[in-house]
Each structure stands twice: as C-alpha cells, then as structure tokens.
Structure 1
Amino acid sequence: MKKSSTHAWITAISVAAILFGVSGVVANSISLFMAQFSTVYSETATMAQLALYFTCMTGTMALCQPIARKLFAMFDTRAVISVAVLLATGGFYAISFYTSYAGWLVSGVVIGFGFSFITYLMGPILINNWFKKKAGTILGVVLAFSNLGGAVFGTVVGRMISSMGWQSAMRVCALIALAIGLVFAIFGLRYKPRPEKGESAYGEEDGTAVAAQGEAKELKGFTFGEALRTPWFWMVAIAVVVCFFGCNFQTQAAKFATSAYAFDIAKAGVLSTVLMVGAILGKIFLGVINDKFGCAVCYTVGCGAMIAGILVLVAGAGSGDFMGFLGAGLFGFGFATMSIAPPFIIKKMLGEKHFAQIYGYVASIGTLTSMFSSNIYAGIFTSSGSYTGGMIAASIALAVGIVVVIAGTLATRRLWD
C-alpha cells in the first residue's frame, strides 16, 4: 500500500511559517526596540545593562534544550510548540510595559525557554522525522525563513515605531507573531509519521508492508549512553563548539568593517543586510550541498566561506566598500553552517537511534558557546586594542572544525551502512 507523505510538506511549511513569524519578529527586531527603550528610560536602562537580556536568553536556551527535547517526545508537538510560541511572544509583549532593565532580564528567561523549542530543536528534529530524502535542502529552505522574517519585519518595524511609537509597535508585532505561530503550530505540526494512519516520511513511500502495518523499523545508531563513551560524540561536540565560536565572530565582523572601512550608519546597515542575505543563501545552498555531497563537504564549504570572508575583510581594508561587502557576504553565507551541518554530522557519525536526544545536548553545547563567544571576542579586542586576535582565533577554530569533521566522518563512514 502506497503511503501518503503529504503531511511531511505540511510540517515543513508550518515550521517555516513559525520561524518566519516568531523568530523573525522576536529575535530579529528586538535590537530596534532595545535602542528605543534605552533612549526613553536612559536613567534606568543603559545599553550595557540591556545587553544582559541576551545573556539571560541564551543561557536559558542552553540549560533548557535537553529538557525541551524530552518534552518534544513526551507530549503532543502541537501543544508543546503552542506553549513555546506563547512564552516567546508573551515575554516580548511584556517588554512594552517595562520601565527599567530588570524586566528585560525576566523576559529574556521567558523568551529563552520558548526559543529552546523553536530556534534549534523544532526544525532539525521535525525535518529529520519527516524527510528521508532531500532533508538538507528542505531544512536549509525552512531555516532561511527565520532570516527572511527578520529582513521583512526589520523594515516594517522601523516604520511602525515611527508612526505609532515603540510600545504600540511592539504589542502589534507580538500579536502578529502569536497569531502566525499558533495557527501553524496547532493545524500544521506533527512529531513524526503515523504508519497506522497511512502517513510516511518523504522518501519512504515505497516502504515495506511491515512498516505499513505500523510496526516500528529499527533505527541504526548508538544510544545516548553508548554515544557518550565513543570518541565520535566528542568529535561532534568539538566540531559544534568551534563552529559556533567561529560563527559568533559575526558580532565583531560588523564592528571591524565599520572601523576599517570607515562606514557610516547607512553603510553599516547595508553591511548587516548583506550578512543576512548571505545567511539566507547559505542555508539554502549548504542544504543542497549536504544532500548531494554529504555533511563533511557541507561543513567544509561553510566554514571555508567564513575563513575566506574574514581574510577578505582584512585584505580589503582601506581599498573600497566592495571588499567590505564581499567579506560580509562570504561570512554570512558560511554563518549558516551552525544551523545546517550539526544534525547531519550527528546522523552520519552517531546514527539515528537516539538522534533527538543527542541533538538536544549538542545544541545546548552550541548555545553555551554562543553565550560566551561574544565576551571572549570583546575581551580579546579590549586587551589588544585590535580585531586581529579575534580574527586569528575564529579562523583557527573553524580550520580545526574542518579537520575534525573530515576525520570523524571518514572513520565512521561504514558504521551505519
């Protein structure tokens, strides 16, 4: 009996819509509202104090992702993501009523808990469950909608703030994000195919009669406990840590370009847009590369693009705007590696048996790395007065990651065949 994979596409569209609406608004427009808030309440909230919001948010995400992974498997995905959407948009909405930075820290924790489901886990886990073919391409396209949402709402939000004030604009944005998130979470999401109802993952339409009768197919791979005792898990962890560390040079790349290329505010804004467009293209093309050539090539191309972007930024300093934009675009393209490559590296080196559990812990490691990386880069700049040290550190980290992933995938290439 031929099983339907229609819901695989419904799930992919729903994940894309949630990322577009919720991440696009809450994650990508928060800096605009933060700047407005610090201007209005300058006596009770400096930008340095408000920056602690990001520490609270990423710290909560890192701590909660293993818990979120378990809740994903235990409860109905529609309910879990609906609650996550309510937390993310509710914490965002509440900011419009605050008068000091302390409230931002509370919202950072609330939003961080919601994002622990939405940002890193929802897309990779659900796409892995519903797509056995073209998973990299589909994941790349789906995740690109977060950046696309940021680009769309980034333009709209600025105009809304000008026309109705930052508080009203924030409330309207929160309600828009809530409506999009809830509609697609409730009506579009399912955790995995249900063979007894005739559902199947894309690429499994010609599955066996046993699967059609609802009997679970044995997945190959290590259990989580077994994985921890192998060198492959720690190679995956190293690859993720150095990739996230290198990716977070993005926080310094814009500052370096602004300084080295003497960009004014308008050009700095264009550079940020180039970075975002690069990330959108990177997610799509790295996903395709993963499907055609494997996760090691995907990771190598992505990290190589970031190294090239850093080198172009350095070599082109003082030689014109084009080199600054080119370097930013290359780095943005490679920045997508942190979203696309890790789930497929895990599947390749550790198998699929406990994929979701392993990915939940690896995502936590990556998020913790992100939380501390910006401070490390800032510390290097403060102590040396130069961006060179950070650039060298990022390039070395990314090169180490390439070596580790190539070695790990070669060593495990026949484990799960």
Structure 2
Amino acid sequence: MSESNKKIHYAWWVLLGVCIFVGLGKGALNNVASLFLTPITEDLGVGMGELTLYFSVSAVITMVFLPIGGKLMAKFNTRLVLIVAVILQAGAFALFGVMQSVWGWYLMAIPLAVGGVFITVIAGPVLINQWFKKKNGLALGILSAAGGAVGAIAQPVVGGLIAGQGWRTSYFIVGLAVMIIAVPIIFLIVRQSPEEMGLQPYGMEETEQGGNDKHESGEQGVTMAAAKKSSAFYLLVVFFFFVTSIASFSMHIPTYLINKGFDVTFAGNVMGLFMTGVLVGSLVIGMMIDKIGSRNTALFTMVIGILAICMLLFLTYGFFSIGLAVGLLGVVSASIGTLGPALTTALFGNKEYSQIYSTASLGLAISSIVALPAYGFIYDFTGSYTTALYAILIMFICNIACVIAAFKGKNKLQQKGFWTSNEV
C-alpha cells in the first residue's frame, strides 16, 4: 500500500463539513422553529394558525425554487452559492426577532426558504454524490444521522435560551451563531469536486482496478432532458411524495396515542423511540444501500413500514408493541435523506445529478404542503387516525410498485442509448 493510500481521503473532510452546516440548517434553524410559536403568539396577540401560515409560505417558495436551485448549484461555484444560502437562511431567521407583525414572518419566509433549498435539501446529496464513488450510502446515512443529532442538542439549548433571554434575543443569537459557524466551515472545507483539488472521488481507485473504464467516472448517467422523458423520473417524484407524506405522520403520533387513551408522558417516551429509529435507521439504511443496492433497500424499507402500520392498526396493546412500531416508522422517516438521493443516482447517474435531484424533490415540497394538514382534517372529521393509517398503508404499497417500475424505466433509458454506462 502506498503512503498516499494511508491518508484520510479529503472526501471524509467534505462530509464532516457538510454534516456541520446541513445539521445546523436543519437542527438549529428548521427543527427549533416550533419552540418559538407559543411565546410569539402570547406576546403579539396573534392566533397560532395565523402565525404558522408562514410555514406554508416557506413550503410554497421551496417548491418553486427547487428546480432553479439545482441549476444554480451546477452552474456557479459551490462554496459561493452555499455561503450566500447560509446568510439568507440564518439571516432571515435572525431577523424574525425584530418583527412586530405576522407579515414579517411571511416576508422573511422567502429568503429563509430560498437559502434552505440549498442548505437542507440539495447541498448534502450533491456533494456526497460528487465526492463518494464508494460508500455513498454510508455517507448519506451519516449526514442524515448528523442532522438528527444536531437537532437533539439544539432543542434543549434553544428552549433554555427562549426561557432565559426571550424569543426575540434567541432568534438573533441562533441565527448569528449558525452564520458564524457555517460560513467558515463552507469556505475552509467544502470543495465543489475532487477534480478541483486534483483528486478522484473516494473509492474510484478501487473501481478502476476492478476493470472499469476510468474515463467514465465523471459523466455517468443521463441528462435532465432525457430523464424528464422517462417514466422513472415521475415515479421517483411520486416516491418522494409518498415517503415524505408517510414521515409527516410523525407530527400526529402524540395526538394519535392520546386519542387511544395513553397519557402525554407515554407519548413522549414513544417519540423518544421514534428519534432513536431515525438515528439508527439513517446509518443502517446507508450501509444497506452500499451492500445490496438502493432498489433492494427501498423495497425492504417499505416492507418494514407496512409492518409498522399494521402493528399500529392491530397491536396497540402497550409500550413494547407501540414503541416498536413507532421506532420502525422512525427508520422509514430516515430513508428520506438516504434513499431519495441514492435512488436518484441509481436511476439517472451523476451527469446532471443536481438538476434531476432538485426537480424530483418537488415531491418532497408538495407533500410538505399537503400531507400534514390532511392528517389533521382526517382526525377532525372522523375523530381518529384509523383512516389516515390505512391511507399510509396504501402509500407504502404504491411506493413498492413505484420502485419496481422506475428501474424498468431505467432499463428502457439504457436500451435507447441515453445512459452512458452500466448500472450504478
């Protein structure tokens, strides 16, 4: 083994940087937003529904800007784009602290969402896809787990800040802290591609030694134009929509359990198992992708989800059965950050990955607008979540069909000559 092979590949340093700034964007900005809602409504005298409408504004902006964001990531310097994105997202978050009317939240939701498109949706999968030829799934799993870990730390810290300093000061402190940490990390660590440093992606050397054409490494797959003519692309959008809709049910789990006769303490303990499922699932799914491929991992994960829903429908006897079911749903939720990017790579390669992934992610954005309130309306009209659980069961079955059909669509792309190499 040569001396160079003993060194840590720079891809792992990029992953570390990505875990930090994506974790901050998700865990220290997006995930703590709910902690501010009650003190704001009490202080400003506005309704909860009136205030939380800014989440819908953010979701709509995300949906509109996702395809644009993918093109910008492909066209401009990655570090510059991400630094601007952090300033937009964290800066808007900080400015919430000076707003006197709910219209301020509606207005600031625009830069918050535009920056978040890059930081929380596109950047991680795109950079990992560029830097990792081998252990791509593990890297995605680590990234997903890091987001959950940062969120677990940020929640009590921000809660304490709000209690001690008030919501206005807390907005300002958190937003500034994210910028102060994330901007230097992006500037010092993140590089657009291995070629920029005269390197190859992690694991490329082993691929070449295995007999593959070394010239294929940079431009495998199909163009965005070809992808959009394929059934595989639209099936992937549907998969994104359904898997995000399924994960959105987690917000209703405490209400579901209380409706079943359990107390708040029981619900809190069960939600702890949900977060455990997210953290463990992120790593396990990532490793499975590397071992058995994204197709088989996706099918396995959907079957796990079906088992979880069946347990919630028919085996709600106590903490063990309910906790296991909710923990398995946590594993499914973790798949959003791992299976989505991995399936995109497997189906369409990396030739125009950022454009394809960001556009397919419209399924995620649309689901964020539709699914969460839909579960609430089902509960309001029926008095329970039973209908919602059956709907989720159908979504899992549809996703299995989508994955199988999408890979058949990929085979058609290859047969027509749009794909430039063998399967990822």
TM over 0.5: yes
Q: How many Å separate the matches in 2 of 1:401 and 1:186?
A: 39
What letter matches 1:125 in structure 2? V
Cα deviation for residue 306 of structure 1 reads: 2.8
Q: Which residue of 2 aligns with 1:174?
A: 175
Q: Percent identity?
A: 26
| TM-score normalised by length of structure 1 | 0.91
CA contact 1:257–1:324 (8 Å) conserved in 2: no
* Contact map agreement 2:19 2:143 (CA 8 A) in 1: yes
Query: Which of 387, 398, 401 is the aligned partner of 2:399?
Result: 401
How far 1:296 moved relative to its partner? 1.6
| SS of equivalent residue, structure 2 residue 337 | helix
Find the counterpart in structure 1 of residue 417 from structure 2.
none
Does the 8 A contact of 1:69 with 1:356 survive in 2?
yes
Query: C-alpha deviations, 1:143-192, integer Å up to 9, x for none?
Result: 22111111001121222222222222222222221112112111111121
2:342 alignment counterpart: 344
Letter in 2 for 1:263: D
Deviations 1:334-369 (A, max 9, x none): 111222112222222223322221111001232112
* SS of corresponding position for 1:338: coil
Question: How far is 1:54 from its partner?
Answer: 1.3
Q: How does 1:30-179 map to 2 (within 5 A)?
A: 30-41=33-44, 43=45, 45-179=46-180
1:22 to 20, 25, 28: 25
Of the candidates 12, 22, 36, which is equivalent to residue 9 of structure 1? 12
Query: How far 1:307 moved relative to its partner?
Result: 2.7
1:290 aligns with: 289
Cα separation, 1, equivalents of 2:240 and 2:50? 29
Structure 2: gaps of 5 or more residues: 415-420
Query: 2:204 is matched with which residue?
Result: 204
Deviations 1:220-247 (A, max 9, x none): 3221111222222222222222222222
Task: Tell me if the contact between 1:290 and 1:298 (Cα under 8 Å) persists in the aligned partners.
Answer: yes
Kindly provide the amino acid, as one letter, of the partner of residue 330 in structure 1.
L
Unaligned runs of 5+ in 1: none
Structure 1 residues 198 and 159, CA gap change in structure 2 (3 angstroms): same
Contact 1:129 1:192 in 2 (8 A): yes
Aligned residue for 1:150, secondary structure, equals helix
Distance 1:208 1:283 in 2: 29
Structure 1 position 374, deviation (Å): 1.2
Assess if the C-alpha contact under 8 Å between 1:301 and 1:334 holds in 2. Answer: no
Distance 1:324 1:105 in 2: 38
- Displacement after TM superposition at 1:83 (Å): 1.0
Q: Counterparts of 1:258 and 1:360 in 2: how far apart (Å)?
A: 37
Q: Residues 269 and 104 (structure 1 numbering): CA distance in 2 closer, same or farther, change over 3 Å?
A: farther
The structure 1 segments of at least 4 consecutive aligned residues displaced by more than 6 Å after TM superposition are: 1-5
* Residue 218 of structure 1, CA deviation: 5.9
Pick which of 377-386 and 365-374 moved more. 377-386
Determine the C-alpha separation between the residues in 1 that align with 2:48 and 2:320. Answer: 31
- Contact 2:28/2:174, CA 8 A, preserved across alignment: yes
SS in 2 for 1:353: coil
- The change in CA–CA distance for 1:165 and 1:270 in structure 2 (over 3 A counts) is farther
Given that residues 14 and 191 in structure 2 are in contact (C-alpha distance below 8 angstroms), is that contact kept between their aligned partners in structure 1? yes
- For the structure 1 residues 216 and 331, does the alpha-carbon distance in structure 2 shift closer, same or farther, using more than 3 Å as the test? closer
Shift of 1:17: 0.6
Q: Name 1:335's counterpart in structure 2.
A: 333
Aligned 8 A contact 2:63 2:366 in 1: yes
SS in 2 for 1:108: helix
Q: Aligned-pair RMSD on alpha carbons?
A: 2.4
In 2, the alpha carbon distance for the partners of 1:157 and 1:68 equals 29
Q: Aligned partners of 1:94 and 1:46: how far apart in 2?
A: 20
Alpha-carbon separation, structure 1, partners of 2:167 and 2:230: 51
